[in-house]
Amino acid sequence: MSVLVGKKAPVFFASAVVNGGEVVENFSLKDYVGKKYVIFFFYPADFTFVCPTEIIAFQDNIKEFEKRNVAVVGCSVDSKHSHWKWLQTERNDGGIKGVKYPLVADPALTISENYGVLAGEYFYEEDDENEEIMFHGTPEAYRGLFLIDKAGVVRHQVVNDMPLGRSIQETLRMVDALQFFEKNGEVCPADWHSGDKAIKETHEGIAAFLSKK
């Protein structure tokens, strides 16, 4: 599994469903570079159980992300047609109708693989009669989440196993921490929240912080 923190987010061009029903070809996170921060998250599959709770929770908090100049983008290995259908399905029927941010389609598994969240891997198998590319594992993505800054660099990532839903509030906390550091040049200690004291990166700074605890 890749650690992408400190590196440029892998570039892709793919189909996506935006605004709850509009299919866009050649969607790319490059469109946000220089303009917005991005929360790019992966989920295993459409029409499942934990996934809609996360997807809807991001939508329910979308104003908080927009207030911080953050674009939210989801991705799974499903097709654009599956995304579209799920987005048209009422929530009481297991759908996610009302979600407006982009959902990227990755049926070829390449985006998930490039971000290091694919729950399996390809391998080459050869014998005297056959040569074949095989896939070992589950052809779905783990619950990966990447905070990408306005320069297109990954600044935070977290990957959960499929049964483990993520915390949207923790995601917002990490956005706040990054933006606070960028603005003030002070680093954010354990369990830091907006409004808390931060630390100057000096021996005196950490001593002063710890002496107040």
For residues 22 and 96, state if they share a domain.
yes
pLDDT > 70? residue 1: no
pLDDT of amino acid 184: 95
For residues 23 and 111, state if they share a domain.
yes
When the pLDDT of each residue in the chain is averaged and rounded to a whole number, the result is 94
Q: Is 181 a domain residue?
A: yes
Q: Is 8 a domain residue?
A: no
For residues 158 and 194, state if they share a domain.
no
- Asked if 115 contacts 144 with a C-beta cutoff of 8 angstroms, the reply is yes
Which residue bears the tokens 């589950």? 138
For residues 121 and 150, state if they share a domain.
yes
Q: Is 2 a domain residue?
A: no
- Asked if 148 contacts 30 with a C-beta cutoff of 8 angstroms, the reply is no
Q: pTM above 0.85?
A: yes
For residues 129 and 158, state if they share a domain.
yes
Q: Is 126 a domain residue?
A: yes
Q: Is 7 a domain residue?
A: no
For residues 111 and 194, state if they share a domain.
no
Name the band, by pLDDT with cuts 50, 70 and 90, for residue 212.
confident
Those residues with Cβ within 8 angstroms of residue 173's Cβ, 6 or more apart along the chain or in another chain: 192, 193, 194
**Is residue 75 among the annotated active site residues?**
no
For residues 82 and 113, state if they share a domain.
yes
Which of 51-65, 162-176, 187-201 bottoms out in mean pLDDT, i.e. has the lowest? 187-201
pLDDT (tens digit per residue) in 136-193: 888 999 999 999 999 999 999 999 999 999 999 999 999 999 999 999 999 999 999 9
Q: Single out the residue of 138, 135, 189 nearest to residue 161, CA to CA.
A: 138
For residues 93 and 179, state if they share a domain.
no
Q: Single out the residue of 178, 167, 149, 191 nearest to residue 36, CA to CA.
A: 149
Which of 8-17, 27-36, 118-127 bottoms out in mean pLDDT, i.e. has the lowest? 118-127
For residues 145 and 177, state if they share a domain.
no
State the total domains in the chain: 2
Residue 46 exposure: Cα atoms within 13 Å on the Cβ side: 25
For residues 49 and 76, state if they share a domain.
yes
pLDDT of amino acid 201: 80
> Which CATH number belongs to the domain containing residue 94 in this structure?
3.40.30.10
Cα 185 to Cα 91: distance, rounded to the nearest angstrom: 43
Q: Is 6 a domain residue?
A: no
- Measured CA to CA in angstroms, residue 151 lies from 20, 32, 42, 178 at distances of 27, 9, 21, 13
Q: Which of 4, 38, 39, 51 is catalytic?
A: 51
For residues 148 and 195, state if they share a domain.
no
Q: Is 34 a domain residue?
A: yes
pLDDT of amino acid 128: 65
Expressed as residue numbers, the domain containing 183 is: 167-213
* SS3 state at 55: helix
Q: What is the 3-state secondary structure (H, E, C) of 4-31?
A: CCCCECCCCCEEEEECCCEEEEEECHHH
For residues 120 and 176, state if they share a domain.
no
